[in-house]
Chains A and B, each alone.
Chain A
Amino acid sequence: MSAPTLALPPAGGTGGGLEARPGRRSSTKSEQGILPLAATLAVAAAIAVMGGLVGAYLALKAATGTWPPEGTEFDRYTATTLVITVLMAMVTVEWAAYGIRKAFRGQSLFGFAITGGLGIAHLNGLAYLVSRFAFGAGDSPYATVVYALCAVAFLVGFLAVAAVVLTGLRAAGHQLGTDNYALMRATAILWHAAAIAWIVAYYTIYVTK
């Protein structure tokens, strides 16, 4: 049995702000695709959860005479503002990804900060929106499924904001670069999932009704 050969990562980087420190050798495209692929599959799962709830919404709507119940009021202003917020954050997270890809550290950190801020604003706004519902979660089947949709959208948003914050910390610590861009791409995908989750909930509750 011959002894296995051992490949150690080379020292040194390729220069530039984010790559000044010695990094791991460039991984293969296969390895670089792991995190983005896993993030996309997780996004698919999150949207499937929303799909299950939307299916429930539609089934209950078909079986119920008055839908939504009489007297239900809609705060479209806040809800639409949240849609605009998450759409803006989709742009800023891609800006942060662009900064990482092009080794523009300042831009990437700025993008992270704005995305984190918008994400927290979205979560805060969503919590406020739910607290202003003039119905309780158990008042009617409509109320239950609306609360469930908003809760899942909130949870996905929370996880996405956490991912943005943690990735931003790593970027600030010079641990993201052009050779390990996969983490940034995965984070951006997770944020897009949060945005899609809220848009699906918004469309179901406020547009189709």
Chain B
Amino acid sequence: MFSVASRTSFTVAFLAAATGFLSVLVTHDRVGFTALMFVGALAAVVGVAIFLFTPVEPVVPPSAEVEAATPRTIDVTDLPRPSVWPAVAAAAVALLAVAAALGRSITTLGLAAAAVATFGWLAQVWREHPSWTPDMSVRINDRFVVPIALPATIVVFAGAAVLSMSRLLLAVSVEAAPIIAAIAAFGVLGVFTLVASRDNVGRSALLALVVVSSVLVVAAGVVGVAQGEREFHHKGGEAGAEGAEHGEEGAAAGESTQPAAGGGEAGTRPVSVPGVDEPIEVVTDNLVFDTDELHFPADTEVELELDNRDTVVHNLSIYESKGGDQLFKGELVDGGDEATYEIAALAAGSYFFQCDVHPATMTGTVEVAASASGTAES
């Protein structure tokens, strides 16, 4: 109804608009003008909303009689019940705010918390609806939770197991991997045979078995991740590099693949030249390159692979110097994509590279040396 509140809002709208016009005429201040014009428009919207959604107030003539107090009918079901979901939602908002400030890894946690809060709140509101009955809980369980939650849980468990085992097998040596895989496979077979052969296996025993095996598998995966993958080497190459997989674990395994400084020794086994025999890899993530120094061999065409793990587009271009002439312009690479650049030969010297989209934070130098080595150093 056209109440006092709606009239107040429309008055505010008029005054805000008038003040905005006066303000911009006098002070030429666009921010204030825009803010006041928006306020005027919004106050008008609020006035319309109040007009549409507030009740009509009947006009009651004053009475000379002493009127009795009006007994109120109280619908106690209308009183709000306690709910923890607003507090959980606030915690989720806090996590998302921290994620915005600190990093992407917390974003997942924040989104998960927000989803929990949202569906928990929805579930409570659902149960409070007068049409809710305990039978409905069973029906929803049968039609929604079990058909979706059960397969989802299985997928999660299977995925975790596969991921963990894969990390473990990639971390150990090439001889040990099949042995470990065989032990795991025969172990699973043996345990299930044992369980199937017994008439009665207690629920708690099964639960303990599931928990212990899950913990073992996940722990193995964590150890594998911490250890890191073993070195893999491609076969072939100009210098006749071995290319065979090494049996050693750890950083020491990488040494023999590095070309000797100075371009190789006469009479020694041939070494591969990164950039020439295999692309130099540069990774972009979080608006930075993973290196601020590239090394190219002089007077040699170089292959460079840009792996964009970020969510926005990047490229890599090379210049004579910062602000100088452009020598090479890499094509734009979308977030999540890779591209291989073929960079023309450069003379020995020092150059400048940057991402043309983010020149403020993504820069570095290219050292082109007369030696045959070409690497990316962080």
Contact = CB atoms under 8 A, between A and B. Distances in A.
A23 B72 CA distance: 22
Interface in B30-65: 30-31, 33-35, 37-39, 41-42, 45-46, 49-50, 52-56
Contacts of B197: none
A36 B77 CA distance: 22
A85 interface: no
A44 B41 CA distance: 9
A170 B126 contact: yes
B335 interface: yes
Given A51-B38, A55-B31, A138 B77 contact: no
Give the interface size bracket for A toward B.
Answer: 35 or more
Interface string A42-66: 0110011001101110110010000
B119 to A, nearest CB: 9
Given A21-B131, A173-B126, 6 more contacts: A29-B56, A34-B53, A37-B49, A37-B50, A59-B30, A166-B118
A150 B361 CA distance: 22
Nearest to A166: B122
A139 B358 contact: yes
Closest 8 CB pairs of A and B: A51-B38, A33-B53, A55-B34, A40-B49, A21-B131, A30-B55, A136-B358, A37-B53
Nearest to B355: A136
Contacts of A169: 122
A12 to B, nearest CB: 11
Contacts of A133: 312-313
Interface residues of B, number: 46
Contacts of A40: 45-46, 49, 53
A22 interface: yes
A41 interface: yes
Nearest to B139: A173
Interface stretch (A3-11, A74-82, A93-101, A114-122): A3-11
A118 to B, nearest CB: 21
A175 B30 contact: no
A37 B54 contact: yes
Contact of B358 (A5, A23, A56, A138): A138
A162 B45 CA distance: 24
A175 B129 contact: yes
Contacts of A134: 313, 332, 357
A43 B131 CA distance: 30
Contacts of A175: 126, 129, 131
A136 B55 contact: no
Contact of A136 (B56, B131, B287): B287
A153 to B, nearest CB: 16
Contacts of A23: 130-131
A28 interface: yes
A55 B72 CA distance: 50
Contact of B31 (A7, A29, A58, A162): A58
A48 B126 contact: no
Interface string A150-178: 00000000000010001001100111000
B49 A131 contact: no
A134 to B, nearest CB: 6
A28 to B, nearest CB: 7
Contacts of B200: none
Contacts of B287: 136
25 contacts: A6-B74, A6-B76, A8-B75, A23-B131, A24-B130, A37-B53, A37-B54, A40-B46, A41-B46, A48-B42, A51-B35, A51-B37, A51-B39, A52-B35, A54-B34, A58-B31, A58-B34, A131-B334, A132-B313, A135-B357, A136-B312, A139-B357, A170-B126, A173-B126, A175-B131
Contacts of A7: 73-75
B311 interface: yes
B359 interface: yes
Nearest to A11: B130
Most A CB within 10 A of own CB, among B74, B122, B125, B130: B130
B205 interface: no
Nearest to A182: B53
A47 B130 contact: no
B360 interface: yes
Contacts of B122: 166, 169-170
A133 B71 CA distance: 65
Nearest to B362: A136
A58 B34 CA distance: 8
